[in-house]
Structure 1
Amino acid sequence: MRRLVGVALAGALLALSGAGVQPAAAAITVDALTLSVKRVDYPALALRGLVLRLDVATSQLDLRVASLRVGPHTLQDVHFACPRAALSYPVVECRGGRMRLARKPLPVSIDFRFDLAGRGARFVAAGDRGARVDARFDPSGRLEARLSRVPIAELVRQFQGMLPGLAGWNPSGVLEAELDWRGAPSMEDQATGGARREWLRLRAGIDNGAFGSADGQRAAERLAVDLSVEASAVEDRWQWVARADWKQGAAYLHPFFVEAGPRIQASGRLRGDRLTVREASVALEGVGALAASGNFDLQQRQWTDGALSVADADLAVIGPRWLAPLVAPAAAERLRFAGRVSAGLRFEAGALRELDAVLDGAGFSQPGPAGGGVSFGPVSGHVPWRANGVTRLQLEIGGARWERLAFGPFALAARLQGDRIGFDRSVIPLLDGAVVLDGLALQRVEGEWIGRGGAVIEPVSMHLLTAAAGLPAMEGVLSASIPALSVRPGEIAFDGALVISVFDGYLQATKLRVHEPFGVASHLTGDIEARHLDLAQLTRTFSFGSITGFADADIRGLELVRWRPARFDARVASSPGRYPRRISQRAVQNISALGGGGAMAAIQRRLIGLFDTFGYRDIGFRCVLDAGVCKADGIPGVERADGGFVIVRGGGVPALDVIGYNRRIDWMELVDRLQSAIGSKAKAEVH
């Protein structure tokens, strides 16, 4: 930027030769020379309010410029003072000059030599720490400049008014650059009135570059970048070619971490405030070809339109680096990708208008911390989308997995219209049944997706389901009718009922919500109601002993975190009605584990040794789980003077009671007791 200030000074003095200048006044006295110029205009810069004063007696030169415009940026109150100046017409010289911008001194010493007759100029600025800017301007209109060891931090600090976006990045490093510009009108152009022609070549490099924002969302170190630009113009219509090579270092630009390697080549044109990128290509690891084009408004500093195409991208390479930080930043390190994708995108006014993507064997998986996890794919097909049109999505999906449940291959078709997606009826195989999605529709509102639809689970064998989940074998079927399924950011809600026909009774789950289904802290909430469960089948399945009769259960406020109970209010009680009620020795001993250590003391031990089974009147147990503690209780309304609670109330001959005394039980301790009591078959179920 310092060299441009020198060029501005040269341009002001060149005004005497008639190049776009409106002089206000000029006076020569015996002691001093004063020159005032209203304006000087060149395509790349403009001066307003220039006042030059040369004190002949002291050889001091003083130059003030009210405003200096360089490209789209303007500097106010430019002041240059030279303690050792000389005027020997037509040459003006200065040694050891100093400059101020908006009354702030620049840490450079400036020398220049300018020929008022239009025979060229030389400008040298030397910094206090070895930085140097050396510029030459010859009569043909050619400018040659070289920047050496320029500290980027100082450059941004001094010219933060022209570079406002960089100040918050706290950049550092060293800049080296060479500029060759042929931009002023040649003598031939002025004589013939021919078209104005310009040519520019820039070579620049950044060494040991770094930056970092205060919020930590942008950071880089050890950067080495080479940049080259070649451009030519006829009457301010520029054609340009640029290349950039990131040779060293790494950067974090939230949410992406990128290492050196990308190379960019671009070409286009520039006219006024409109920068056109005709074609840009990027060499990027894992991508067969990446190209872009578009138009950028320099005044508004935004893209007005653009297009991007990606060909033959390897998702295993680009997925963890570019996709995972966007779709699941909290779980980015655990996401795995496979397959390939090609895509084309078109933007207008900063918004996506068209998208075409072709997937070939694409898929992703997210292993769970304790096994299971989520996977989807392989997926093949075409995804076309238009902001103002209707298109059809067609995908073939090879399968999916959610925790321990595996889904078979299925087809997915949808109608795409702007921010709306309407899915066709989809049948997703699940063991010997299926999950049927019907009428599912999604809509993007304020940047987030919400949706509603219906779902049906066609009967699935509990025998197959429990085997797939690693649970003890059960008989029966699972089915569900969910007329109102809703999807919101971070939540899937099931407003109907999930019904499992099992043990000659049923379990019904309602108010089901899956929170953060694909996140690290995914959890499920809901209520469960169980009615008329055959205890003989249940205890036989879990090797719990033997109990004849039926039981009801209610679990309110259930919350599962990673499929482990974290909170609930559960009640178990005998079902109403007349039926045989017997309980075996082993079942009595196992139930006693629910009551804590004192429960065994209350059992008539001699009866345990004399009889295989006992009659009972009813069974009741309550556990309110919170913060890892189960607050226990027994059959409602049955109080004991010793503070205990009744879990099994005896009835018939022979009869016995099972009584608990520990009303606060560590949940994991209770789980361990049950696991020890009923054997390894049920370990997967009780957790």
Structure 2
Amino acid sequence: MPVRGAWGWLALLACVLWAGGVWGVQRIALEIGEIRHPVATMGGLQLRFEADGTLLLRARSARFAGREWSAPTLRCASARLDVQGFRCDEGRLELDGKVLPLRFAVEAAFERGDVRVVARLGDGLIEAALDRTGATSVLFSGVELEALLAVAAPFAGALPVQLKGLNPVAKLNGAVAWGPARRRLTMNAQLEEGGFASADGLLAAEALAFAVHLDATEQGSGWSWSVGARWVAGAAYVHPLYLESGPALEARGTLHAGRLRVHEAVLAVDGVERVRAESAFVLDPPGLERLEFSLQGIDLDRAGKRWLAPLLFPAQVDRLRFSGRADVRLEMRAGVVEGLTLQLDEAVLGLRGAAGGEGVGLGPLVGGGSWSRTQPTEMRVAVGGGYWEKLALGAFSIEAHLAPEHASFARMEIPLLDGALVIDEFGLKRGPGHWEGRASVVIEPVSMRALTAALDLPEMSGVLSASLPGVRANPGEIALDGALVVSVFDGYLQATGLRLLEPFGVASHLSADIEVRHLDLHQLTETFSFGNITGFIDADVRGLELARWRPVAFDARIASSPGEYRRRISQRAVENISALGGAGALAALQRGLIGFFESFGYRELGLRCVLRDGVCAMDGVEGVQRSDGGFAIVRGGGVPALDVIGYNRRVDWNELVDRLQRVIDENVSPELH
């Protein structure tokens, strides 16, 4: 028969035990069908009281705070039950066959109808009180998180694998109270000496301290609640972010019909004037139903370094530069982004050069726009200018039509010295898991003299123009459809198969095939103070590969262009070409005779380098065979004629680059053999 008056039954039991003691009974056993309380319900209750004062209380099942257990068991090493009340000392609790790692004392007063529990958990203390109305309070001090999680596991279910792997530690202090009259639950808690660490080092924290306040009121079948939380001390690394104490959160909402709604959440965080959110979560199964999130007054200098750089470009954090302000708004439904709004105010974005140079940058940026998953929108940003190393860009604007799955940009003409960089047919579309971009790029004629001066290069004459008919970009890759054509030195350079991986990463990799035709040697050698050579050359570089912007493989050949033109080479150019050939290079005239002539005729030039594993396999003019194993770099022709012969067919690439640099920078005169 169900027993609803729990205190009455316990009082009756006390009388039975008292009578048993008077009559000399050694053991008393009692069974109760059911005990109900506003907080807990137990069914199939069995009690056994031994003459030595030990007590065993076991239920077939129990329900507490909406959770059920089978065969919960209470054991008391020392117990007392009489008409005044019940007391248990050195108690242990067993749930679902596991003994919880805590020891406690329980005292119940029948006349007052209250229960008090004092539990020791490691070095911590938990004190709980329950009266006949159901009012409950819990105080905890110095409770270690690790021990608390072990005790709470049967109540909250198994801990997530990720949490177990972090080995969290902390000490908890605080109070929880439930008032049945107003159906109100309050909690004030402090976490101190907190920390965690993952085995891979990507998650770590130490000296954490938090303060949390919860106030919840039951309303019908749901709850109305408010929460305040403050990060008081400590720091954490949650890859790729480094987080420090200071943020504070205030939130309010409701819990009803399996849905947790956040009507308003306001977060105070360094670098942002206001962070506000509204959201709704489904609890079973867990999932995000709706989220509206806004950041107002973002200080890009402060927030950019701390939040944006690690999230967007984790490999370039130290090189990124931000300034100005921004506002951002995000809307999500069922875990899917529905809308995004961005507004910029005098924003400047920059990436410092890898070797400490100027790098690239844009700004100030003013304007913005919105993207929606359901309807077309517009965006407009005025760009005050920019730079690429020491090359300045003029003002221009970015205008775009944004659709749910693609974006198309208006033609952009970016002033560049006395010419312009024109970006046309620029569009973005959503690919599988990422966005992809396409554009055509043209460099309208720019004075080489002005360009080389701006880039601190040797002064060059003529103009530079280029055309990239189809550029494709997706995360981590930039590729070229068709050919990149650059006009320079009265000839042209054409690159095909151009592909750049991780362009801004530490593992950047470029591959391409390059064809150069009809470069004017007079302009080229004059520009680099190499001496003077008249004529034209062609070049082919096949299988070019650059890793971190340094050549690692190619097959390069330089040869005189076909056709009739004046072919002369100065004494200084001969000496420099011989220097590139190293100690094995030989001019086919004696040193003393070279001094009598300022220039020589030549029939053709030729040089080949096949780079593999840091070594250049050298060869010269194609089709010329020599019995002594050498190779012709310059074949003489006319009067006086001169041959330059190389004998070292394997040259360290870095050494070859050093020789060329010395020739250009110092114009050293080599020793000829």
TM-score by length of 2: 0.90
Q: Would the alpha carbon gap of residues 333 and 539 (structure 1) be closer, same or farther in structure 2, given more than 3 Å must change?
A: closer
Q: Render the CA deviation track for 1:506-546: whole Å, top value 9, x for unaligned.
A: 22222222322222343433222111222222222222112
Amino acid at match of 2:262: V
Correspondence for 1:271 among 242, 246, 256? 256
Q: Is residue 2:536 matched to residue 1:541?
A: no
Paired residue for 1:158? 151
Q: Render the CA deviation track for 1:268-319: whole Å, top value 9, x for unaligned.
A: 2222422221111111111111111212223333332121111111011111
d(CA) in 2 for partners of 1:618, 1:48: 103
Paired residue for 2:224? 239
* Contact 1:61/1:85 (<8 A) preserved: yes
Paired residue for 1:148? 141
Deviation, structure 1 residue 172: 0.8
- Structure 1, 308-317 or 597-606: larger mean CA deviation: 597-606
d(CA) in 2 for partners of 1:322, 1:50: 57
d(CA) in 2 for partners of 1:651, 1:665: 28
Q: Is residue 2:144 matched to residue 1:125?
A: no
Q: Render the CA deviation track for 1:470-520: whole Å, top value 9, x for unaligned.
A: 222222332233332111221111223332322222222222223222223
Paired residue for 1:94? 88
Paired residue for 2:13? none
Deviation, structure 1 residue 158: 3.3
d(CA) in 2 for partners of 1:487, 1:394: 22
Q: Render the CA deviation track for 1:221-280: whole Å, top value 9, x for unaligned.
A: 111111111222233432222111111101112221101111111112222422221111
d(CA) in 1 for partners of 2:222, 2:479: 59
Paired residue for 2:6? 16
d(CA) in 2 for partners of 1:39, 1:302: 37
d(CA) in 1 for partners of 2:40, 2:200: 38
d(CA) in 1 for partners of 2:423, 2:63: 63
Correspondence for 2:196 among 204, 208, 211? 211
Deviation, structure 1 residue 548: 1.8
d(CA) in 2 for partners of 1:647, 1:223: 70
Correspondence for 1:424 among 393, 401, 410? 410
d(CA) in 2 for partners of 1:400, 1:513: 25
d(CA) in 1 for partners of 2:134, 2:303: 48
Q: Would the alpha carbon gap of residues 322 and 460 (structure 1) be closer, same or farther in structure 2, given more than 3 Å must change?
A: same
Q: Render the CA deviation track for 1:632-677: whole Å, top value 9, x for unaligned.
A: 1101121112211110111222112100111122223222322332
Deviation, structure 1 residue 115: 4.3
d(CA) in 2 for partners of 1:18, 1:393: 75
Q: Is residue 2:173 matched to residue 1:176?
A: yes
Paired residue for 2:316? 331
Q: How many pairs does the alignment contain?
A: 649
Paired residue for 2:538? 552
* Contact 2:276/2:294 (<8 A) preserved: yes
Paired residue for 1:6? none
Deviation, structure 1 residue 37: 4.0
Correspondence for 1:642 among 628, 632, 639? 628
d(CA) in 2 for partners of 1:469, 1:515: 25
* Contact 2:30/2:46 (<8 A) preserved: yes
RMSD: 2.7
* Contact 1:157/1:167 (<8 A) preserved: no
d(CA) in 2 for partners of 1:402, 1:513: 21
Deviation, structure 1 residue 403: 4.1
Paired residue for 2:671? none
Correspondence for 1:581 among 567, 574, 581? 567
* Contact 1:14/1:116 (<8 A) preserved: no
Deviation, structure 1 residue 574: 0.8
Q: Would the alpha carbon gap of residues 66 and 525 (structure 1) be closer, same or farther in structure 2, given more than 3 Å must change?
A: farther
d(CA) in 2 for partners of 1:69, 1:630: 80
Paired residue for 1:34? 30
d(CA) in 2 for partners of 1:74, 1:662: 86
Paired residue for 2:424? 438
Q: Render the CA deviation track for 1:603-631: whole Å, top value 9, x for unaligned.
A: 43243022222121111001122333222
- Structure 1, 398-407 or 523-532: larger mean CA deviation: 398-407
Correspondence for 2:280 among 292, 295, 298? 295
2:593 aligned counterpart, secondary structure: helix
Deviation, structure 1 residue 363: 2.3
Q: How does 1:10-89 map to 2 (within 5 A)?
A: 16=6, 31-37=27-33, 40=36, 42=38, 47=41, 49-55=43-49, 57-65=51-59, 68=62, 70-71=64-65, 75-89=69-83
Deviation, structure 1 residue 420: 2.0
Q: Is residue 2:102 matched to residue 1:105?
A: no
Amino acid at match of 1:133: I
Q: How does 1:404-483 map to 2 (within 5 A)?
A: 404-483=390-469
Q: Would the alpha carbon gap of residues 69 and 587 (structure 1) be closer, same or farther in structure 2, given more than 3 Å must change?
A: farther
Paired residue for 2:327? 342
2:576 aligned counterpart, secondary structure: helix
Q: Would the alpha carbon gap of residues 662 and 465 (structure 1) be closer, same or farther in structure 2, given more than 3 Å must change?
A: same
d(CA) in 1 for partners of 2:667, 2:139: 80
d(CA) in 2 for partners of 1:48, 1:302: 33
Deviation, structure 1 residue 322: 1.0
1:297 aligned counterpart, secondary structure: strand
Percent identical across equivalent pairs?
Answer: 47
Amino acid at match of 2:212: L
2:529 aligned counterpart, secondary structure: coil
d(CA) in 2 for partners of 1:290, 1:432: 45
Paired residue for 2:370? 384
Q: Would the alpha carbon gap of residues 681 and 89 (structure 1) be closer, same or farther in structure 2, given more than 3 Å must change?
A: farther
- Structure 1, 552-561 or 45-54: larger mean CA deviation: 45-54
Q: Would the alpha carbon gap of residues 72 and 332 (structure 1) be closer, same or farther in structure 2, given more than 3 Å must change?
A: farther
1:466 aligned counterpart, secondary structure: helix
Q: Would the alpha carbon gap of residues 660 and 557 (structure 1) be closer, same or farther in structure 2, given more than 3 Å must change?
A: same
* Contact 2:629/2:647 (<8 A) preserved: yes
Ranges in structure 1 where 5+ consecutive residues have no aligned partner? 1-11, 20-26, 187-196, 683-687
Paired residue for 1:257? 242
